Amino acid sequence: MTSAVTHSEPIVSKVTPAFNILSFLSEKRHSRHHTQAGIHAFVQGVMEGSVTDYQASAWLMAVCCNGLSLDETAWLTEAYVDSGERLDVSALMGNGLGPVVDKHSTGGVGDKTTLVLLPVLAACGAQVVKLSGRGLGFTGGTIDKLEAIPGFHTALDNAALISQTAQLGLALSSQTPNLAPADGTLYALRDVTSTVDSIPLIAASVVSKKIASGAPTIVLDIKVGLGAFMKTLEEARQLAEWCRAVGQRLGRSIATVISSMEEPLGYAIGHTLEVMETIDTLKGQGPKDLVALTVELGAVTLFSAGVETSLDAAKARIQAVLNNGDAYALFERWVSAQGGDVEAIRNTNQLPQAKNQLPLLAATSGTIAGVDALLVAQAAKMLGAGRTKKEDVLDLSVGVIVHKKVGECITAGEPWATLYANTQGVEEAQQLLSQALSISVGEVTLPSLILETCLPDSITPNMIFKALDESH
């Protein structure tokens, strides 16, 4: 991934000179730096239509080849934010109910952390205003998962978001298309022009939506591995550095946690299944890896926001609200506040149920050496848990339960996973899952889940002020 970083001048106030798209394209084609005004004019032109799709695509390709400086990336992020609405959380500031925080994940397989973390943070004294999206790809997004709860209302207007947060400590809604809309427009072009994998462009996309969401303290969970967009730790580190540095330039406190996505998080993949695992976790009975990630993300959030004076104290507080029932009680109140059927989470048989449960048996005995998160996600999609197009309708009842994690022993003929299926894609899912499991007869090194945690001020000078590719 190209992510050239260079020395640049401090951010200055915006001006509006005459804009020439051909000169702008030439600047980046020849590896020259844009001005703040030029980037804002470019984004405005994209939104107004005076910059054509083919011109915007040419610029995106030039960025992928020649990079953006930190200042250019911050200005692009700023322009994305300015292209639409911002959620005004000022009414929550100084109301005595705790700091306003937000959390974002770059996406993973079985990642239901948001469902667990929001009531945990609220139970610990933070206010969480969360705008989440639907899934497009392997499995659904947070909004899709919550819709497995009958009646749960995921479309709140801004006033309802703020009002509910003030009363309850948390609120979540589907993301409005008016939030950083320029990012959405350019992302659609990136998706069809093979220009997605530029770290400055990814950082601007992620950070702009978080800034537009209003919270002054932001924690990013950056996934890396087979089931994540970032495939290597070095790429994940670069993205984390860029996001923190851009946040710092634009007055936002951003902390990052890099977590592994080689195997699914927890055991459940699929909407109803993940809601059920969320409930278990909030009752203190969750999978070890999901609990560990929740505690890490929550502790970083509470410490960064000043709720706790140390990470250890924050971790202890989070573990306490998971064990004493406070977090689960708040989850029930959250579901009720957004119209969800609380009885359905008390008796999960009332959630959408798949007709068939099909066990997958281990062919040999040994130690689990790998559970390929990508293949598991693809299998869940075959069953109907994921979308190919935005308008696709999800089957909220289907998915996969993985019974074994890396490092655990298994006996030939023992179930290592179970398909929860109706009629769609069963054979295809079984075929994919037959390739997902690796069994070793020797010892297996247990993988690390939390690979790196950096607080907002942890910006590496070598990363920010030294070009990664001198040729740019």
> Which active-site residues does the annotation give?
104, 183, 190, 205, 209
What is the C-alpha to C-alpha distance for residues 166 and 337, in angstroms, rounded to an integer? 12
Residue 253, burial from CB neighbour count under 10 angstroms (0-12, 13-18, 19+): buried
CB distance 140 to 271 below 8 Å: yes
CB distance 207 to 247 below 8 Å: yes
Say what the alpha-carbon torsion angle 359, 111, 443, 445 is, to the nearest 10 degrees.
170
CB distance 401 to 160 below 8 Å: no
What is the C-alpha to C-alpha distance for residues 111 and 247, in angstroms, rounded to an integer? 24
What is the C-alpha to C-alpha distance for residues 231 and 240, in angstroms, rounded to an integer? 14
* Residue 85: strand, helix, or coil: strand
What is the C-alpha to C-alpha distance for residues 472 and 466, in angstroms, rounded to an integer? 12
CB distance 122 to 169 below 8 Å: yes
Is residue 363 left, alpha or beta, with left meaning phi > 0 and alpha meaning psi from -120 to 50?
alpha
Joined together, the tokens standing for residue 270 give 């699929």
Helix axes 181-192, 199-212, angle to 10 degrees: 150
Question: How far is residue 368 from each of residues 192, 292, 364, 415, 416, measured CA to CA in Å?
Answer: 38, 20, 10, 12, 9
**Residue-by-residue DSSP string for 250-314:** TT-EEEEEEEE-SS-SSSEESHHHHHHHHHHHHTT---HHHHHHHHHHHHHHHHHTTSSSSHHHH
Q: What is the C-alpha radius of gyration for the chain, rounded to an integer number of angstroms?
A: 22
Tallying the residues shown for the chain, one arrives at 472
Please name every residue paired with 357 in a beta bridge, in sequence order, or none if there are none: 420
CB distance 436 to 395 below 8 Å: no
What is the C-alpha to C-alpha distance for residues 366 and 363, in angstroms, rounded to an integer? 10
**Residue 342 burial (CB count, 10 A):** 15
Q: Which residue has the tokens 């292209």?
A: 83
